[in-house]
Structure 1
Amino acid sequence: MFKTAQLSLLALGLAFAGSAFAERVLVAVAANFTAPMKALAADFEKDTGHSLVAAYGATGQLYAQIHNGAPFEVFLSADDSTPAKLEREGLGVPGTRFTYAIGTLALWSAKPGYVDDQGQVLHGDRFQHLAVANAKTAPYGLAAMQTLAKLGLSQAVAKKLVEGQNIAQTYQFVASGNAELGFVALSQIYQDGRITSGSAWLVPTELHEPIRQDALILAKGKDNPAAKALVEYLRGTKAVAVIRAYGYQL
């Protein structure tokens, strides 16, 4: 009985000691990465003991918030240029930036069979509204506009464009039926090897600049072990499998 009590107290002491080293990390996450981040957060907390609080938005908007003193400690961007800029400006920790995912742009409709697998629907008159994210703040919006330009459709669809503040709002425009189709992140409509709803065309990568998504430990997270742990976790095989499951390349 005495030995059992000793062992119980020892286990309790070890658990308390472990929790004493647990930290919380505040993460700014590009809106396209919302679904995989929520899945990763649960695994990260379970596997490391640290806690994670995420805020989601357009990359440009998150950049402005970081510049204005937001307490974010890690930034998961939807491009590679914004983290590089933050690093140059002294707001990121040098040497911590890396590409955690390469995104895929998709033309999507909530209606099954509406979008063909070659994207020819863009050349017709079947739709009145085409949703895109703000090209100035959302890298997926910029990729969408580059695609339209490459296809020679910029002027033809100009009056049909409906602009979302970020890729999450753009998705909602299409999901609600307010736009018949729109350019979204594949991760919003894809899981475990299949399109989860509606119909989609995966935009060929040669139609836009690569969507390299970089992570960076921010200056406010320099001394936070949870920030370092998250960046290391994103490189691990378990996280990579989750990221791939949502249609990203690495």
Structure 2
Amino acid sequence: MRALLAFATVASLAFVPMAHAGTVNAAVAANFTKVAEQIGADFSAATGHDVVFSFGATGALYTQITQAAPFDVFLSADDKRTGTAIADGFGVEGTEFTYAVGKVALYSPSLDLTDGAAVLRAGAFQHIAIADPVTAPYGAAGVAVIAALGLTEALTPKIVTGQNITQALQFIDSGNAEVGFVALSQVLGEPATQIWLPPQEDYPAIRQNAVLLKNGEANEAATAFLDYLRSDEAAAIIRAAGYVLE
């Protein structure tokens, strides 16, 4: 059973003793939770550096960064807030890069989503879960898909909003919503009839960018983690989770 992770879950990953090992505090978009934990474990095994993750909605994490949260690196679920971090003086110029391109998915454990657009048009459900579109890029993508189908007025009253994409999935898994928009990476491996991938042209590309934060500028472990995120080993994990690499 997929583990349900609460907002701002903190996980300290495996540590392998070595000289000059350090700790990196990483703020990571909730949709990347499983992948980040796997990459973090491999990174720790390879380098001896410890990784402490804080998972949440991209907008909420950025708010914490502006309020002096002690993060060294920021893995956003979009390609905007990392640039904002640099412009606002929180990110290090020249360190921003796209680490994954995500896909939004309509998911339901109880409905046949072979034709997800038809299911949305029929509206034969009480609630549809979406992450907060203001703070969560995957939530914004879900809203865009609904708008592209011309269903904003019909479906808005049925929306239940999660603080982040993890909570949106919790609403679906718990039955509080029969269907909802999540990240493909969260439901990869579920039966094909339970997942519908909207046309890419129906929502903005979800380019997920990372950046070194000023707090981690002198932290060798932080720099090493971002380097590892761009390694072939990390790329294989990212692709296997349903993301695209540019």
1:54-99 CA-to-partner distances (Å, cap 9, x unmatched) read 0000000000000000000000000010000001111111111000
RMSD over aligned Cα, in angstroms?
1.3
> Is 1:233–2:232 an aligned residue pair?
no
Structure 2 residue corresponding to 1:135, chosen from 130, 133, 136 = 133
Q: Structure 2: how far apart are the matches of 1:22 and 1:49?
A: 6
Matched residue, 1:222: 217
1:221-240 CA-to-partner distances (Å, cap 9, x unmatched) read 00101111111101111100
Matched residue, 2:145: 147
Matches within 5 A, 1:1-250: 19-111=18-110, 114-190=112-188, 194-195=189-190, 199-250=194-245
Q: Structure 2: how far apart are the matches of 1:110 and 1:40?
A: 28
Q: Structure 1: how far apart are the matches of 2:192 and 2:29?
A: 22
CA apart distance, 1:165: 0.7
**Which residue identity is paired with 2:102?**
G
Q: TM-score, length-normalised on structure 1?
A: 0.89
Give yes or no for contact 2:114–2:195 (8 Å, CA) kept in 1.
Answer: yes
Q: What percentage of residue pairs aligned between the two structures are identical?
A: 49
Q: Structure 2: how far apart are the matches of 1:95 and 1:249?
A: 22
**Which residue identity is paired with 2:129?**
A
Q: TM-score, length-normalised on structure 2?
A: 0.90
Gaps of 5+ in 1: 1-17
Gaps of 5+ in 2: 1-16
Give yes or no for contact 1:117–1:200 (8 Å, CA) kept in 2.
Answer: no
Q: Structure 1: how far apart are the matches of 2:46 and 2:115?
A: 40
Q: Which runs of 4+ in 1 moved over 4 A?
A: none
Give the structure with higher Rg (CA). Answer: 1
1:88-124 CA-to-partner distances (Å, cap 9, x unmatched) read 111111111000000000000022x522244321011
1:135-174 CA-to-partner distances (Å, cap 9, x unmatched) read 1100011111111111100001111111001000000000
Give yes or no for contact 1:108–1:198 (8 Å, CA) kept in 2.
Answer: no
Give yes or no for contact 2:129–2:159 (8 Å, CA) kept in 1.
Answer: yes
**Which residue identity is paired with 1:29?**
V
Q: Structure 1: how far apart are the matches of 2:242 and 2:83?
A: 24
Q: Structure 2: how far apart are the matches of 1:114 and 1:179?
A: 15
CA apart distance, 1:205: 1.0
Number of matched pairs: 229
